[in-house]
Structures are given as C-alpha cells and as structure tokens.
C-alpha cells in the first residue's frame, strides 16, 4: 500500500463515509488549499447519474473554495484523470481507491 500523509488518509475516510451513508457505488472527497474537505457520493435520480467526483468538486466550489489540492475517488466509478487534474492546482494529487478504501494509485 502507498504511504499517505494523515491529511490524505482523512480524504479516504471521509469518502468511505459518504459511500456507506447511502450505499453508493462510488464516492469522492476533495481538499481545498485552506484544508477544508468536501465529500459526496454518486447518486442516480430521475434516470440521471451524478458522479461523486463532480458533486464533491461542485460542493467545494459552491462553498467558496478557490483552489483544490487533492481529490480522492473511491469505488466503482469511471473517472477521467485529465478532467480531475484540470480542477486541481498545479501540484495537486489524485488518490484512487477501490470500494473498500485500499489505495490503487496516487497521481501527482
């Protein structure tokens, strides 16, 4: 397993909690440059599917986050790493985990 800083491990814990709350197939958690975190789970509603990572990023931006420094994506969701990296500050990192929270990869 990849060694993570305590703050990155917190993202995994929060993403796991978001996923478990509604038994979602995926979840995500983002951290802004002020250290605040925002988590979300994927949802289906009225035949639409909303991706967890999009919801977590939107929540952060709606709360006033100016820059994001890390994103954790957990579970069974197809992700576009280029899209995710495009919303991060230049030195941001993406943590990709399986549904149980085991780290699959860390992309800086």
Residue-wise pLDDT tens digits, 21-33: 999 999 999 999 9
Among candidate residues 37, 39, 1, 36, the one with its CA nearest the CA of residue 19: 39
pLDDT value of position 2: 60
Which pair of tokens denotes residue 80?
A: 């576009």
Residue-wise pLDDT tens digits, 16-59: 999 999 999 999 999 999 999 999 999 999 999 999 999 999 99
Q: Which residue has the tokens 């035949």?
A: 47
- pTM for this prediction: 0.92
- For the chain, list the domains and their CATH numbers: 6-101 (3.40.140.10)
Which pair of tokens denotes residue 106?
A: 């860390």
pLDDT value of position 91: 81
pLDDT value of position 89: 84
């Amino acid at each position: 397993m990849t060694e993570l800083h305590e703050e990155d491990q917190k993202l995994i814990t929060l993403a796991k909690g978001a996923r478990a709350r509604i038994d979602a197939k995926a979840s995500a958690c983002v951290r802004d440059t002020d250290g605040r975190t925002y988590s979300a789970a994927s949802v289906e509603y009225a035949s639409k599917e909303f991706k967890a990572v999009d919801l977590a990023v939107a929540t952060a931006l709606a709360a006033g986050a100016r820059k994001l420094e890390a994103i954790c994506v957990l579970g069974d969701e197809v992700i576009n790493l280029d899209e995710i990296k495009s919303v991060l500050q230049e030195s941001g990192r993406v943590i990709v985990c399986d549904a149980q929270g085991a780290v699959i990869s860390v992309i800086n």
